[in-house]
Amino acid sequence: MHLFYLLQILTRVCSIRYSVRMGPGISRYSDINAEPLQNKQIYEKFEDHTRPVREMKVTSEEMDRARVPRERRDYCAHLWLGYLKCKREWFPELSRCDGVLHDYKHCNVDDIKHNMMEYERTKRLMARERKAMAESMAED
C-alpha cells in the first residue's frame, strides 16, 4: 500500500512515468529503439577491433565433463572449476576454499562491469549514429 502512495508522489513531483511489475521492483519506461538489448548484430556493427579479445580459458567439453551449470558458463568458468576442485579436495573443511570462491566472485563482478561498459559504449555509438543520420536528413 505504501508503495502505491510513493509512486503517486514520484509521478507528481518528478513527472516520471513508472511501471510496477510483479514484486517490489520499480522500472522506468524507456525507448526500446535506444537500447541495444540482446541483438548481436548491433554489437558486431560497433565492435572495436583495437581492444584485446577476451577468450574463454576453458573449453565447452571441459565444462560438460565437470557438469558446469549453464548460468556459470561465462568468462569466469575456469575459476568456478577451480572452486569445484577445491570443494572435492577439502570437503569437510570448505572454509579453505573461501579464497578461490572470492576470486570467482571478483572475476564475476569484473565481467559484469565489462559487459555494462560495453553496453553503454554501444548505446552511445547508436545515439551518435542516429544523431548523424538526423543531421544528414535535415541537410537534404
Residue that is written with C-alpha cell 572449476 in the block: 81
Residue type, 10: L
Helix-then-strand count for the chain, H and E:
5, 2
- Per-residue pLDDT tens for 1-22? 455 555 555 555 444 444 444 4
Q: What is the largest CA-CA distance in the chain?
A: 73
What would the pLDDT profile of 28-66 be if each residue is shown by its tens digit? 545 556 566 666 677 777 777 787 878 889 998 998 998
Please state the pTM of the whole predicted model.
Answer: 0.63
